[in-house]
Structure formats: structure tokens, C-alpha cells
Structure 1
Amino acid sequence: MNALPRRRFLQISAAALAGTATGVSAQAAAPVQWRGVAMGAGATITLAHPDAEALIASALAEIARLERIFSLHDAASAVSRLNATGRLETPPFELLECFALCSAVHTASGGRFDPTVQPLWQLYAESAGQAPAQAALAERLALVGWQAVRFDADAVHLPHPGMAITLNGVAQGYVADRVAALLRTKGLRDVLVNTGEFHALGVAPDGHDWRIALDDRSGIAPSPVSLRDGAMASSAPRGTTFDAAEQIGHILDPQSGLPARTPWQLISVTAPQAALADALSTAMCLMDRAEMTALLGQFPAARLVHLS
């Protein structure tokens, strides 16, 4: 699992091509692309509509609202308050929805997807680029275990002092889904939302599928991924590292406490929802090919579209 934005080197970008817009965006409006930051990652929203400025403002307000739920860097966010006290009363619906997805992927992945790895991540971050001492690692591992987290509409409870969660393996995708859903309710049919993960509505301004370019640092550009009314997320075991040699990656195994040891540079998954694709691609960083196939078999609408 990761606890920092995973885009340090991936440079995943949308190939939003110029051309005539379709659907609602066919109202003689030129394509507009907002660029900024969401959930700590580079973000874009691409659409064509006469009221593009107002629509993008609504989308940014939604991003800001969701960051106040999921952010680890905002001490007032719902996740930060939960981590600080071990309990959160009347949790937001969005947090519970994410938790339900986390539980599904946690079970399906044999525990490899586990949002309670945050204490492990903090240990590595505090170790100044060195492997943590075994005693310290064992102490933090005792705090890991999503199955121990209790949540319902009344409260979320972390049962052990020092336990903490990170939703950075799912929240970027979830935010992309929510922004896309918001813009759909406002009548847009052709939009690309990129919050570090992608959710595509309809088609690009040229009338073709949205094309997402990937970079796995191999020196050979992977084939772009086509999206239409769907989502894609990518994970890289060493997309962010704790050491200057870039060997201690940020995807941590919740069972051993060690960084992912798989050979993968980049894993990209498509699914109807970016949150699901996000969680699956994160779990796959700890899997071999056979295990990935077994995991995807439990989510028939998801596809592995890039592995290098």
C-alpha cells in the first residue's frame, strides 16, 4: 500500500486531442483543460462547454470537499482526526463508501490491500532512507490489520493505540469518480477527469476514445490506453521511494512489512470506477501474474491493460 502520491516518475497524461466536441460539448465550445493539483498529485479536467469555467469551479469545490475527508496532510480531515484519536463519530458517507470498497479488495486480495499500513509507512519515512530495525518493524506490524477496523454509520473505530489508516491507494480514484459523477449530473457527456487516476465520460474532442499515455521509465513508450465511459488507475512499486538509491519503494506488504519485491515497473488497470481500479492496481504490486489473474477473476469488469 502507498501513502504518498505515486506520480513522481510515471508522468501519466491524457492525450486530449483538438477537434469537434460531441454531445453537450458540441455547442460550438472549444475544449478547455484545467491543470492543477488534487490529492497531492498533478490533476487535469478536460471538457468542452460554453459554461466550462463555472463547471470547473464546481468540480474544484468538490475536490476540496473530498480532500477534507481523505487528506493525510490536513489535520482537520476526517482521516486525520480518525488517526489522531482512533475513533470518528458520524463518519461521512464518502468515507464509509471507500471503506466498503477497501473491505472488498482486502478480502479478494488475501489481505494485500490494507489501508492500515500507515504506521509502517511512517516508520520508513522516519528511517532516513535506511531499512528499519527488525524490532521497530515488528512493533509497527502489530498495528496492521484492516479486518480489525470497525465502521458503520455511527462511528469508525481503530482498536489499537497507534493504529492509523491511509486511503491513498484508493482515494485518488474515488475523487476522480465523484468529480465525473458531478459533471454528469450537470449534463456533460464528454469529460476526462484526472486526479492521478482517470475517469472518462464519453469521447475526446476529436470524437474518438480518450487516449491515456503511459510512461514506465523503460525507454520504450507503452501503447496508449483507450477509455470511453470507464476508468483507469496505475501503480508502480517504486514510483515513490524512501531512499536515494530508489530501492525502498512505497508499496509496503502488510504481512511482512517489507517493500514490494515484485519486478513490476508499472501496473495499469481499467474498471468502471477509478476507485476500484486504484485499489486493484495497488494490490497487484505485491502479486505475481497468476495472483493478479485470480484477483481480477473476482471483479469481472476490471482489466489489466499494462504490466511492465
Structure 2
Amino acid sequence: MTLTRRRFLVTASLAGLAAAFGYAAPAPEVIWRGRVFGAEASIRLRSEAPERARSAIRAALGEIARVERAASLYRRDSELVRLNRTGVIVNPSTTLSGLLALCDALHAATEGAFDPSVQPLFTALAGGGDAARALGRVGWQRVSLTGREVRLGRGMALTLNGIAQGWAADRVAEALAARGFDEVMIDTGELRALGGGAGRGAGWPVQLQGRTLQLADRALATSEPLGTVLDRAGRIGHILDPRQGAVLPRWRKLAVSAPDAAVADGLSTALCLLDEEAQARALRHFPAARIEARLPA
């Protein structure tokens, strides 16, 4: 497996852009950097009270830990790993239940393109296994969701990597907003902004395909199907079609914004597998979301 950068977004220099756009100098910035779901992450918070900001960030990190305990494939003790191992979870956490409910909505909106049960296919392709056999174990319709139980069909396994990073960003945003902070940029692999980093109401500047997008009280997620490839030839990307398996990518890069990072995250993944008409149909289910960049393969 060859790993390359998944994102094609780079946050701009906030101080420089403040001067360039004529905004007032922003408040001092407190920055946390670490790892979320095995990838680099950061929280940037503007506040005149750095100690209070650091305390709020520490509290918000508890939300990330909560999401990882529910949905991480990197933790042996997570609910998701236990579900994949045993095939059933009784009384799932509200975090896992919420994630799976959103998966259900995304699966319906994208006509099956978003499907967390694609994990056996990913495992087979990444490890040189039998992809055709693995594809037979994929199918969201075989996942039973009730208020008290999650049950998988025989041989199934789920991945929540298509929305969990965005979900974590949303929970951090909620935690910081509840503590009175409204100038925040969260990067958990997907971006979630509160307020604007270069001046109140201006938006956090993000470089996106040669233009500057001002991200304010909104999230942005990007997908690059060949950002991670599963074969030496570099033709099989990590975004797999649950209906067909490994297919040549339709889009090289795609970015979606939405009020919630989890929705933007899931849509940016699934829309890579759809043509423009199917993308438009999917977005009608999430009218506040929109495609910000789309590059053909």
C-alpha cells in the first residue's frame, strides 16, 4: 500500500491575509497539534484569554477520545473493532448510534455509494486477498440497526473512516462553542470552522485549487481517490465502490462544504463515485451542502 496526501487544502497564513484583506489584527492564537484517527490534526483558537482557551481545548479533546472509543479501527478496545470481531453490539453508545444513523442517511442519499460495509473489500485489496469473495460480504442492507443493538451479517465488517473524522470535528466545535469560543478552526482531516480567523465574520481563509475560500461557521472535506493506493501500479484507490469493487476513479479530487463536517466528510467520499446527475440527486437530500471543487480523473 502506498500512502500519499489525501487532502489538497492548505490553511493560509492568517496574519498575512488579515493584512492583505484589510482586516483588523486577529486575537492571539492558541494552537493544539496532535493525532486523530492516526492522522495529524490541529485546533486553532483565537482568544484574548490563552489560559482559558487551553483549558477549553483540553476539554474538547475529551470529545475526540469519545469518538475514537466508538469508531476507531486503530484501537483494539473501540466499539467498532468489537463489532467487527463479534458481529454484534448491544446497547451501543450514543456516539456509535449517531454515526451509524448518519451512515444510513448517506447510503440512501447516494444510492448506495456510501457504504461502511466496504471494509472487507478494502482489507482484501490492501492485503492481496480474494476481492471477488470480499465483495460478496459487502452490503449495508445486511446491517441490522435497532435502538438497542447493531448486528452484522456473516463475514461483514464496517469502517467509519468516511465520516468519523468529520464527526470528531463537529463534536469539538460544539464543545468549544458551549464554552463561549467563536473563532476556531479545527482540522481532524476535515476542516470545521467557527467564526472567522482573520477578523470577526470574515471567515477562515483556506486555499482551494488556486482560490481563497473564506470558511465561516461551516465545514469543508476533500477526497482524492488515488490519495491512497492499494496496488503497486497505483490504479486502485482507497475509495472503493461498494456496488462494483475497485473501479477506475471518475474524479481526481473533490471537495464538499456543509454546515456539519461529518456530512461534508461522507459526501466528499461518496460523490467521488457518482456522475454529476447522481451527485445532484444526492445533494438534494442535504440542501445546505455544496460541491466546492471537482476535478475529473
TM-score (norm 2): 0.89
1:10 matched to 2:7: yes
1:200 matched to 2:193: yes
Q: How far did 1:137 drift?
A: 2.4
Q: Where do 1:266-277 residues align within 5 Å?
A: 266-277=253-264
Cα-to-partner distance string for 1:147-169 (whole Å, 9 max, x where unaligned): 22112231110021x20000000
Q: Which residue of 2 aligns with 1:37?
A: 35
Percent identical residues = 44
1:241 matched to 2:238: no
Secondary structure of the residue aligned to 1:265 is: strand
Conserved in 2, the CA contact under 8 Å of 1:7 and 1:239? yes
Q: Which residue of 2 aligns with 1:180?
A: 173
Secondary structure of the residue aligned to 2:96 is: helix
Structure 1: which 5+ residue stretches go unaligned? 21-25, 215-220
Instruction: Label 1:30 to 1:101 Cα distance change in 2 as closer, same or farther (>3 A).
Output: same
Q: How far did 1:81 drift?
A: 0.3
Amino acid at match of 2:12: A
Amino acid at match of 2:211: S
Q: Where do 1:252-291 residues align within 5 Å?
A: 252-262=240-250, 264-291=251-278
Secondary structure of the residue aligned to 1:204 is: coil
Q: How far did 1:11 drift?
A: 4.9
Instruction: Label 1:213 to 1:37 Cα distance change in 2 as closer, same or farther (>3 A).
Output: farther
Q: Which residue of 2 aligns with 1:296?
A: 283
Q: Which residue of 1 aligns with 2:293?
A: 306
Conserved in 1, the CA contact under 8 Å of 2:8 and 2:222? no
Q: How far did 1:138 drift?
A: 2.6
Q: Which residue of 2 aligns with 1:98?
A: 99
Hey, which of these two has a bigger chunk of strand by percent?
A: 2
Instruction: Label 1:60 to 1:13 Cα distance change in 2 as closer, same or farther (>3 A).
Output: farther
Amino acid at match of 2:149: A
Moved more, 61-70 or 173-182: 61-70
Q: Which residue of 2 aligns with 1:217?
A: none
Q: Which residue of 2 aligns with 1:152?
A: 146
Instruction: Label 1:212 to 1:255 Cα distance change in 2 as closer, same or farther (>3 A).
Output: same
Cα-to-partner distance string for 1:254-297 (whole Å, 9 max, x where unaligned): 011114431x2211101110111111111111112222122112
Q: RMSD value over aligned CA atoms?
A: 2.1
Q: Where do 1:58-69 residues align within 5 Å?
A: 58-69=59-70
Structure 2: which 5+ residue stretches go unaligned? 19-23
CA distance in 2 between counterparts of 1:7 and 1:236 reads 10
Instruction: Label 1:285 to 1:185 Cα distance change in 2 as closer, same or farther (>3 A).
Output: same
1:110 matched to 2:107: no
CA distance in 2 between counterparts of 1:246 and 1:42 reads 24
Q: What is the total number of aligned residue pairs between the two structures?
A: 283
Q: Which residue of 1 aligns with 2:157?
A: 164
Secondary structure of the residue aligned to 2:44 is: strand
Conserved in 1, the CA contact under 8 Å of 2:205 and 2:213? yes
Moved more, 31-40 or 169-178: 31-40
Cα-to-partner distance string for 1:34-55 (whole Å, 9 max, x where unaligned): 1221112221111122112211
Conserved in 1, the CA contact under 8 Å of 2:198 and 2:205? no
Q: How far did 1:8 drift?
A: 2.0
1:213 matched to 2:212: no
Secondary structure of the residue aligned to 1:182 is: helix
Q: How far did 1:16 drift?
A: 5.3
CA distance in 2 between counterparts of 1:11 and 1:261 reads 17
Moved more, 7-16 or 205-214: 7-16
Conserved in 2, the CA contact under 8 Å of 1:96 and 1:152? no
- Please point out which of 97, 120, 132 is paired with 1:138: 132
Cα-to-partner distance string for 1:130-182 (whole Å, 9 max, x where unaligned): xx6xxx2232112111122112231110021x200000001111110011001
Q: Which residue of 1 aligns with 2:55?
A: 54
